[in-house]
Structure 1
Amino acid sequence: MAPKPPKSSITCHNCGYDGNSITAIRCDLCKQPLELNYALNSNSTIRNSVSNSKKTTRYRFYLPNTWLTLVSILSLLLGGSLFFWRSQSVSTQNFQRLGDRGNSKAIVILGDTFSGYSTFRSDRLRQALKEFQIEAHYKDEFNQARRARLLNEGQADFLVTTLDQFLKQKPQGKIVGLINYTIGGDAVVLNTKQYPNLRSLQALNQLVQQRRSQNQLSIIFAGDSPSEYLGLLLDAKFEAFRLLDFQTIKVVDAADAWKQLQSNSNLAAAILWEPFVTKARQQGYTVVLSSRDTPGAIVDVIVAGDRLLQSQPEKISAFLEAYYRLIDTSTSDRLLLQNQIARDGNLSASDATTVMQGIDFFTSVEAKNWMRDGTLEKRINSTAAVLALTGRMEQVPPAPQNLFTYQFLDRAASHTQKLISSIRSDNPKLADSLLEGVANDTNSKFETASNLGNLRVQGEIEFQFGSTTLTRKGKQTLDRLAKQIAEFNSQTVAIRVIGHTSRKGLADLNQKLSQQRAQEVINYLKQRGLQHKMFAVGKGFSQLRGDISPYDNRNQRTEIQLLRLKS
Structure 2
Amino acid sequence: MDTTPGRIWGMKSKHPGRWPGDGDKMFEAKPPPTMSPPAGRPDSPTNHSDMHRSSGRRLAWKTWEVWMTWQAAARAGLAIGVLTVWLGLAACSEPPVPALTVGMNTWVGYDPLVLARDRQLIDTQQVKVVDLSSSSETLRHFRNGLLDAAALTLDEALRLTDEGFDLRVVAVLDTSTGADVVLANPAVQSLAQLHGAGIAVEGTTVGALMLERLLQAAGLERTDVNVVNMEATLHLSALRSGHVSAAVSYEPVAGLLRAAGYKDIFDSRLTPGDIVDVLVVRASTLQERPAQVDALLAGWQRGLQALQERPEAAARLLAPGVELSPEDYLATLQKLTFYSTEQSLELLSGAPPALGQDASRLVTTLQTMGLIKAAPDWRRLLAPEPARRLKETSE
TM-score interval for Structure 1 and Structure 2 normalised by the shorter chain = 0.5 to 0.7
Output one character per residue of 1:506-549: Cα deviation in whole Å (capped at 9) or x when no partner.
Answer: xxxxxxxxxxxxxxxxxxxxxxxxxxxxxxxxxxxxxxxxxxxx
Task: Report the equivalent of 1:309.
Answer: 286
Query: Who wins on radius of gyration, i.e. which is larger?
Result: 2
Query: What is the deviation of 1:136?
Result: 1.9
Q: Where do 5+ consecutive residues of structure 1 fail to align?
A: 1-100, 209-215, 419-567
Output one character per residue of 1:313-333: Cα deviation in whole Å (capped at 9) or x when no partner.
Answer: 233233312321331232222
Task: Report the equivalent of 1:360.
Answer: 337
**For the structure 1 residues 120 and 245, does the alpha-carbon distance in structure 2 shift closer, same or farther, using more than 3 Å as the test?**
same
Task: Report the equivalent of 2:268.
Answer: 291
Task: Report the equivalent of 2:85.
Answer: none
CA contact (8 A) 2:168 2:383 kept: yes
Farther-moved stretch of structure 1 (312-321 vs 399-408): 312-321
**How far apart in 2 are the matches of 1:274 and 1:318?**
27
What letter matches 2:106 in structure 1? T
CA contact (8 A) 1:126 1:135 kept: no
**How far apart in 1 are the matches of 2:317 and 2:273?**
24
Tell me, yes or no, if structure 1 residue 386 matches structure 2 residue 365.
Answer: yes
Query: What is the deviation of 1:231?
Result: 0.6
Query: What is the deviation of 1:143?
Result: 3.1
TM-score, reference length from structure 1: 0.45
Task: Report the equivalent of 1:118.
Answer: 111
**For the structure 1 residues 342 and 386, does the alpha-carbon distance in structure 2 shift closer, same or farther, using more than 3 Å as the test?**
same
Task: Report the equivalent of 2:300.
Answer: 323
Query: What is the deviation of 1:278?
Result: 7.5
Task: Report the equivalent of 2:201.
Answer: 221
What letter matches 1:176 in structure 2? V
**How far apart in 1 are the matches of 2:375 and 2:179?**
26
Query: What is the deviation of 1:129?
Result: 3.9
SS at match of 2:120: helix
Farther-moved stretch of structure 1 (141-150 vs 322-331): 141-150
**How far apart in 1 are the matches of 2:104 and 2:318?**
16
Aligned with 1:149 (options 143, 148, 162): 143
What letter matches 1:147 in structure 2? H
What letter matches 1:405 in structure 2? A
**How far apart in 2 are the matches of 1:120 and 1:360?**
16
Task: Report the equivalent of 1:136.
Answer: 127
Query: What is the deviation of 1:174?
Result: 0.3
**How far apart in 1 are the matches of 2:112 and 2:274?**
22
Aligned with 2:156 (options 154, 165, 168): 165
Aligned pairs (5 A) from 1:413-428: 413-414=391-392
What letter matches 1:389 in structure 2? T
**For the structure 1 residues 287 and 104, does the alpha-carbon distance in structure 2 shift closer, same or farther, using more than 3 Å as the test?**
closer
What letter matches 1:378 in structure 2? Q
Output one character per residue of 1:116-151: Cα deviation in whole Å (capped at 9) or x when no partner.
Answer: 333334464783444xx8432223465355333344
CA contact (8 A) 2:183 2:248 kept: yes
**How far apart in 2 are the matches of 1:276 and 1:343?**
13
CA contact (8 A) 2:116 2:303 kept: no
Task: Report the equivalent of 1:376.
Answer: 355
SS at match of 1:127: coil
Task: Report the equivalent of 2:228.
Answer: 249
Aligned pairs (5 A) from 1:1-40: none
What letter matches 1:118 in structure 2? D
**How far apart in 2 are the matches of 1:109 and 1:175?**
13
**How far apart in 1 are the matches of 2:252 and 2:303?**
26
**For the structure 1 residues 336 and 410, does the alpha-carbon distance in structure 2 shift closer, same or farther, using more than 3 Å as the test?**
farther
CA contact (8 A) 2:104 2:150 kept: yes
CA contact (8 A) 1:125 1:323 kept: no
Q: Where do 5+ consecutive residues of structure 2 fail to align?
A: 1-93
Query: What is the deviation of 1:346?
Result: 5.7
Task: Report the equivalent of 1:404.
Answer: 382
Higher relative contact order, chain-length normalized (CA < 8 Å, sep 6+): 2
**How far apart in 1 are the matches of 2:392 and 2:159?**
33
Query: What is the deviation of 1:189?
Result: 4.2
Tell me, yes or no, if structure 1 residue 341 matches structure 2 residue 318.
Answer: yes
What letter matches 1:188 in structure 2? V
**How far apart in 2 are the matches of 1:111 and 1:358?**
19
CA contact (8 A) 1:125 1:322 kept: no
Output one character per residue of 1:427-457: Cα deviation in whole Å (capped at 9) or x when no partner.
Answer: xxxxxxxxxxxxxxxxxxxxxxxxxxxxxxx
Output one character per residue of 1:239-276: Cα deviation in whole Å (capped at 9) or x when no partner.
Answer: 8122222111234436x545655773x85643343578
Tell me, yes or no, if structure 1 residue 127 matches structure 2 residue 93.
Answer: no
Aligned with 1:271 (options 236, 248, 263): 248
**How far apart in 2 are the matches of 1:143 and 1:280?**
21
SS at match of 2:266: strand
Task: Report the equivalent of 1:472.
Answer: none
**How far apart in 2 are the matches of 1:274 and 1:299?**
15
**For the structure 1 residues 219 and 123, does the alpha-carbon distance in structure 2 shift closer, same or farther, using more than 3 Å as the test?**
closer
**For the structure 1 residues 245 and 343, does the alpha-carbon distance in structure 2 shift closer, same or farther, using more than 3 Å as the test?**
closer
TM-score, reference length from structure 2: 0.62
Farther-moved stretch of structure 1 (224-233 vs 162-171): 224-233
Task: Report the equivalent of 1:176.
Answer: 170
Task: Report the equivalent of 1:233.
Answer: 213
Aligned with 1:350 (options 301, 317, 327): 327
CA contact (8 A) 1:110 1:140 kept: yes
**For the structure 1 residues 126 and 159, does the alpha-carbon distance in structure 2 shift closer, same or farther, using more than 3 Å as the test?**
farther
What letter matches 1:169 in structure 2? L
What letter matches 2:282 in structure 1? G
Matched residues, percent identical?
21
Output one character per residue of 1:453-507: Cα deviation in whole Å (capped at 9) or x when no partner.
Answer: xxxxxxxxxxxxxxxxxxxxxxxxxxxxxxxxxxxxxxxxxxxxxxxxxxxxxxx
SS at match of 2:159: helix
Tell me, yes or no, if structure 1 residue 109 matches structure 2 residue 89.
Answer: no
What letter matches 1:104 in structure 2? V
